[in-house]
Amino acid sequence: MNRNNGNAYLDMELLRFTTAGSVDDGKSTLIGRLLYDSKSIFEDQYEAIKLTSERRGEEHVNLALLTDGLRAEREQGITIDVAYRYFATPKRKFIIADTPGHVQYTRNMVTGASTANLAIILIDARKGVIEQTKRHAFIASLLGIPHLVICINKMDLVDYDQKVFETIKKDFQGFASKLNIQDIQFIPISALHGDNVVEKSTKMSWYGGPCLMYLLETIHIGSDLNLVDCRFPVQYVIRPQSDEYHGYRGYGGRIAGGIFKPGDKVMVLPSGFTTTIKAIDGPEGPVKEAFAPMSVTMRLNDELDVSRGDMIVRENNKPQTCQDIDIMVCWMNPRKMNPNGKYAIKHTTKDARCIIRRVHYKIDVNTLHRIQNDFEVGMNDIARISIRTTQPFFIDKYQINRITGSVILIDEATHETLGAGMII
């Protein structure tokens, strides 16, 4: 048994990754394989899918059944929403955002990708790079995922042929040079038979790289967060109504970027007042320094008027304060975007309203071409738009900071989340 044993592993790292693939390229099988081979599947879960596989007359135990949670999905054999899966090895704990790959589900891929450090993209070795592959890679790049792993799957069906692997790799690299992704790796696998998934395959001696699990366990994620630009969106003001803590004011929040220390000179936005940090309380008590993504309580040396939605930053490294913002928006609702519409908007801990000023272009996610003769933004469309907010926001570019660079648009009547925006 190597499922995460006990105390020795209190100090593991967490890696969040997302998987994308088209309907038949074996994504669910790959996840099932990772869970099964890392012994994260329990007997009762395995028994249940074994029974179902037998009842359906399938030859192998269908590991894909592990990931299909809702009744409609099992009935129709499809994945309709983002599902989260968990497994751990002695080295790391993993959170998988498993998203469906069909064209109508761009919004789910965007959702799954928004919190991921790494994306796995599956390519069927028999089909090579297809439109969906390009779409998935584009979304990974748009959402600022730092690491991309391209798994060329079903190598067993092409006789584990190195030439097939190399051709697909070259194809993909040609396309990916247009994208903004720091780190791309390629692995030839067979999810069905387990080649190069958890153990290195004996059938592809020509492949000198690591198997997928080894890569997931060792890929360097320590520098994925922004530790340079100090950003602390104030989330909740803590004021104990007791004599013991008379006059106490603490600012609760999650650090969105940079490193803060007691004694640091800071500025509070929007007021622009400066002061110094008196103390920072972390989960285990006072800390000497606090960094993203810690949730802390900060106290300041001067009594200022600070409330939710304000941001504590460094005087010499401020975000941009503005009301006119350009974003790439992914539309997530069947009702189309109103080109002059007013929407509620959320940015960090700040709520406001905004108006759509202009649609610049839409992006054809399959070719990356700009569409400049159709400005109608509907479900699953990705478009560059300009908005004006009712209050100034303290923003960074999404590529610099995913937390201070992202917004969501909300319908003012139904309160549904309509769009996800990345600040350009």
Partner 1 sequence: MLRYNLSHLRELEAESVFVIREVAAQFEKPVLLFSGGKDSIVMLHMAVKAFQPAKLPFPLLHIDTGHNFPETIQYRDNLVNKIGARLLVGSVQDSINNGRAVEETGANASRNILQTVTLLDSLEEHGFDAAMGGGRRDEEKARAKERFFSHRDEFGQWDPKNQRPELWNLFNGKKNLGEHFRIFPLSNWTEMDVWQYILLEKIEIPSLYFSHERECVDRKGVLLAKSEYIKLQDGEKWKKMQIRFRTIGDMSCTGAALSNAATIEEIILEVAAARQTERGSRADDKRSETSMEDRKKEGYF
The footprint of partner 1 on residues 213-272 (CB under 8 A) is 222-223, 225, 227, 235-236, 238-242, 244-245, 248, 250, 252-254, 259
Return d(Cα 350, Cα 262) in angstroms, integer: 25
What is the per-residue burial (b if ≥16 Cβ within 10 Å, else e) of 18-35?
A: bbbbbeebbbbbbbbbbb
CB nearer to partner 1: pick between 6 and 208: 6
Output the smallest distance, CB 196 to partner 1, in A.
26
Which two tokens mark 319? 């975000």
Q: Does 85 bind partner 1 (CB under 8 A)?
A: yes
Q: Would you say 45 and 85 are in contact if contact means Cβ atoms under 8 Å apart?
A: no
Backbone region of residue 282 per phi and psi (left: phi > 0; alpha: psi in -120 to 50; beta: other values): beta
Q: Does 275 bind partner 1 (CB under 8 A)?
A: no
For partner 1, how many residues bind (rule: CB under 8 A)? 82
* Cα of 306 vs its chain's centroid, Å: 30
Q: What are phi and psi of 412, to 5 degrees?
A: -75, -20
Q: Does 7 bind partner 1 (CB under 8 A)?
A: yes
CB nearer to partner 1: pick between 342 and 358: 342
- Look up residue 94 and give its amino acid: F
- Number of residues in the chain: 424
Q: Does 81 bind partner 1 (CB under 8 A)?
A: yes
Q: Does 298 bind partner 1 (CB under 8 A)?
A: no
CB nearer to partner 1: pick between 169 and 346: 346
* Contact code string over 327-366 relative to partner 1, x by CB under 8 A: -----x-----------x-xx-x-----------------
CB nearer to partner 1: pick between 106 and 153: 106
Output the smallest distance, CB 11 to partner 1, in A.
5
Site for partner 1 in 148-177 (CB under 8 A): none
Could you say which of 37, 53, 115, 162 contacts partner 1 (CB under 8 A)? 115
Q: Which residues pair with 384 in a beta bridge?
A: 328, 361
Of 260, 257, 256, 253, residue with least CA distance to 235:
253
Q: Does 390 bind partner 1 (CB under 8 A)?
A: no
- SS3 call for 141: helix
CA 294-11-251 angle, to 5 degrees, is 15
Could you say which of 114, 133, 196, 389 contacts partner 1 (CB under 8 A)? 114
Output the smallest distance, CB 71 to partner 1, in A.
5
Q: Does 417 bind partner 1 (CB under 8 A)?
A: yes
- SS3 call for 140: helix
